Structure 1
Amino acid sequence: MSVTDILAELVAVPSLPGRPNDVITGLIRERLARDGVTAIELPGPEGDRSNLFATIGPADRPGIVLSAHTDVVPTEGQTWTSDPFRLTTDGDRLTGRGTSDMKGFVACVLALVPEFAALPLTRPIHIALSYDEEIGCRGVPHLLARLPGLCAPPDAAIIGEPTDMRPVLSHKGKRAVVAVIEGEAGHSSNPSAGANALYPAGELLLRLRDRAAALAASGPFDQRFDPPHSTLQAGVIRGGSALNIIPDRAEIEIEARTVPAQSPDEIIDGVLADLTRLGGGDGGRIRVSHRELSAYPALPPPDDPALGELLTRLTGHAPIASVSFGTEAGLYRAAGIPSIICGPGSITRAHRADEYVLGSELAACCDMLRQLGRQLTAA
């Protein structure tokens, strides 16, 4: 079956995050089984979704992990020129949700499985597929926790996010939270009869603005990134229901993106300390709390250039030092597995209407994987 046919099957499954994923995992498990490969299902604590892990070759020897997530972002609010969950072809362009991010890579891996299985591998190829990456890399930590019981410690992981088939060495870390401020409702004709939650929310926003400015002015700085410092921003604020009602609740969605020298926790914990100080205000009528949205560590630049050099040989492209978007690579690295990012498609097409991948990009990815398989047959 061609890589395009496999991609069409994958795109046809609307594998949205935060929902049961048995359809997409069942499809992949069945395809692997037809090629003689058994995929191990690793249920997450949610009970209705799972990671998948499969090994081709000797599991007791260090090998290479091919890593991807199977969930895709929703299409609501976007205007597509075709059905987002039906692969459409226009010349070299293949359009559909997840084609770039990142079912194109998954399709390439699955297309190469028969070739991998036919090789006399002396080191294994592992296929690791996670869930709920798009809502905060929630699935892969459970996969990584199970890894020591499934295989020898891997030599490396290739995370196939869309990079135009250019190897990427590092990326920023991230933590996102919702700050919640609760007051007391009342009629706006007597503002003192209630506790307006918007005012402490405004104070928090000003403190957050000042913290963001301090990061831009004082660093730490890392010139491999654009911008070359950690960032902090409020992206969404919700509060109030009507002009004549004292607003009793406000929520602010906040994110920090950090260079490898700085932890996202360091920045967000400071913001949450500001939030805590607002609690008890207005005569004790203001209450504060927060909810975690997502978190993943930065992928620091590698200490050893060997993995970057390998991907340069496999792709013909010199590595890119860094990107500002995040991936699961930082979590693999934190688990002790050297990691690099490289896959078909472009991040500029991800999460947008008419997302697409080029057939030529899929062919280049398959060629990279084919060469990787040959590398792993050497003694």
Structure 2
Amino acid sequence: MTPEEILADLISCDDLPGQPNRAIAGCVEGHLRRMGIEPVILTGPEGDRVNILATIGPRDRSGVILSGHMDVVPVAGQDWSSDPFRLTRRDDRLYGRGTSDMKGFLACMLAMVPEFQAATLQRPLHLAFSYDEEIGCRGVGHLIAALPDLVAAPMACIVGEPSAMRPVLSHKGKRSTLLRIEGRAAHSSQPDAGLNAIYAGAEILLGVRALNERLAVQGPFDHRFSPPHSTVVAGVVRGGSAVNIIPDRCEIEMEVRSVPGADPAAITAEIVALAQALVPEKALSVEACELSAYPALPPSGDPTLAGLVARLSGGAPLQSVSYGTEAGLYHAAGIPSIICGPGEIARAHRPDEFILPEELAHCCQMLRGLAGHLAAP
């Protein structure tokens, strides 16, 4: 089957992060089995979601992982020109949710399996399909943890996030946190009888802003990134039930994006400490809950992988991107990692997301070259 035909099958699966992924996982598994590949199905701790690993070539030799996530972001509230879960060709573009992010890469991986099988690989290719990437790379860590029992230690990983087929060398890390502030309700005519959780939340928000301003001035800095420093922002605030009730609860969702070498947990801890400092002073209760986290991908000191992927893709390496990927987790596990995939990140998560047929062809060309490299004695 062609990449476009496989992509149509993948797009028709509307499995979203945080939910069972039976449809998309079954689709991927079906294509692999059709081509004679026996995949390893790795059920996550949630019990209703799976990662998939398929190996072509000798398992006892070090090879290369091709990694991509199966989940896509929701389309609720977006104005699409066509059904987002039906691949639609229009004006030489292929529209559908996940075409660029990142089912286009998955389709190329699967479409190239017959060529991988015919290449008599001396070193294996591992096709890794993960779940729940879009809510903090939650699934792939379980797959990575299982690798030592399944295959020889991989020598590299290519994560196929949309990069216009340019090798990406690094990205920031991320940690998102929910702060839950508990106060005491009272009638609004007697505000002193209550503890206003929203007021405490406002003080925390000012602290978030001040810390972000300090990071912009004091760093640490890494000028490969824009902005060249770590950031901390509050993105969601919830609180109160009625204007005549002193609010007894306020929730703040905040995130840290850290440059390589900076610890996002330490930055988060500063805000948590500020929040908890309100407890003895105002008899409030503050709880911090991690929502998601993934490490940064630092640039490698060894240019071998970047040089190989640049040669195979024909794209000049890009030092850094502002979005995060599973590559940071592979790197943290000791597997040299890089990002390179079809499509563009600017199209992701938006209505009328699309990919170009020539971008799929370009990706297949790169994977064909990779197979040739791994087939060499």
- Equivalent-residue separation in structure 2 for 1:91 and 1:63 (angstroms): 39
1:137 deviates by: 0.5
In the alignment, residue 315 of structure 1 is paired with which amino acid?
S
Tell me by how many angstroms 1:132 deviates.
0.3
Distance in 2 (CA, whole Å) between partners of 1:267 and 1:56 is: 42
- C-alpha deviations, 1:16-66, integer Å up to 9, x for none? 001111111111111101111111000110010010001000010000000
Aligned: 1:356 with 2:354: yes
Name the structure 2 match of 1:9.
9
Where does 1:253-264 land on structure 2 (aligned, <5 Å)? 253-264=253-264
Deviations 1:165-209 (A, max 9, x none): 110000000000011101111210110121110111111111111
- Could you say what secondary structure the match of 2:45 adopts? coil
The 5-angstrom pairing of residues 116-127 of structure 1 reads: 116-127=116-127
Distance, in Å, in 1 between the alignment partners of 2:93 and 2:18 is 29
SS at match of 1:153: coil
Which residue number in structure 2 is paired with residue 207 of structure 1?
207
Partner of residue 157, structure 2: 157
From 294, 297, 302, the equivalent of 1:296 is: 294
The answer for the alignment partner of 2:285 in structure 1 is 287
1:370: which partner in 2? 368
The answer for the alignment partner of 2:101 in structure 1 is 101
- Structure 1 segments unaligned to the other structure (5+ residues): none
SS of equivalent residue, structure 2 residue 210: helix
Alignment of 1:50-89 (within 5 A): 50-89=50-89
Matches within 5 A, 1:263-278: 263-278=263-278
**Residue of structure 2 equivalent to 1:134:** 134
TM-score (norm 2): 0.99
In the alignment, is the contact (CA less than 8 A) between 1:92 and 1:360 conserved in 2? no
1:280 Cα deviation after fit: 3.6
Q: How many Å apart are 1:91 and its aligned residue?
A: 3.2
1: CA distance between counterparts of 2:281 and 2:57? 62
In 2, Cα distance between the equivalents of 1:91 and 1:109? 25
Alignment counterpart, residue 308 of structure 2, candidates 268, 285, 310: 310
SS at match of 1:148: helix
Separation in 2, partners of 1:116, 1:92: 28
* % same residue: 60
The correspondence of residues 174-193 of structure 1 with structure 2, limited to 5 A, is 174-193=174-193
* Residue 77 (structure 1) shift: 1.0
Deviation at 1:147, TM superposition (A): 0.5
**Offset, 1:141:** 0.7
Contact 1:280–1:287 under 8 Å retained in 2: no
2-structure distance, mates of 1:290, 1:258 = 19
Aligned to 2:245: 245
| 1:29 aligned partner | 29
Q: Aligned equivalents of 1:61 and 1:194: distance in 2?
A: 66
Amino acid across the alignment from 2:295: P
Equivalent residue for 1:114?
114
Deviation of 1:274 (Å): 1.2
Where does residue 144 of structure 2 map in the other structure? 144
Partners of 2:82 and 2:179 in 1: CA distance: 38
2:93 is aligned with what amino acid?
R
Cα distance in structure 1, aligned partners of 2:323 and 2:258: 11
AA partner of residue 307 (structure 2): E
Instruction: Give TM-score scaled by structure 1 length.
Output: 0.98
Report the AA paired with residue 185 of structure 1.
A
Q: Provide the alpha-carbon RMSD of the alignment.
A: 0.8
Aligned partners of 1:21 and 1:49 also within 8 Å: yes
**Secondary structure class of the residue paired with 1:51:** strand
Matches of 1:362 and 1:242 in 2, distance apart? 53
1:223 is matched with 223
Task: Specify the SS of the correspondent of 1:302.
Answer: coil
CA drift at 1:121: 0.5
User: Counterpart of 2:242 in structure 1: which amino acid?
Assistant: A
CA offset digits 1:79-123 (Å, max 9, x no partner): 111110001001321000000000000000000001101111000
Query: Which structure 2 segments of 5+ residues have no match?
Result: none
Bigger shift: residues 303-312 or 201-210: 201-210
The AA in structure 1 aligned to 2:286 is V
User: Do the aligned partners of 1:86 and 1:96 also contact (CA within 8 Å) in 2?
Assistant: yes
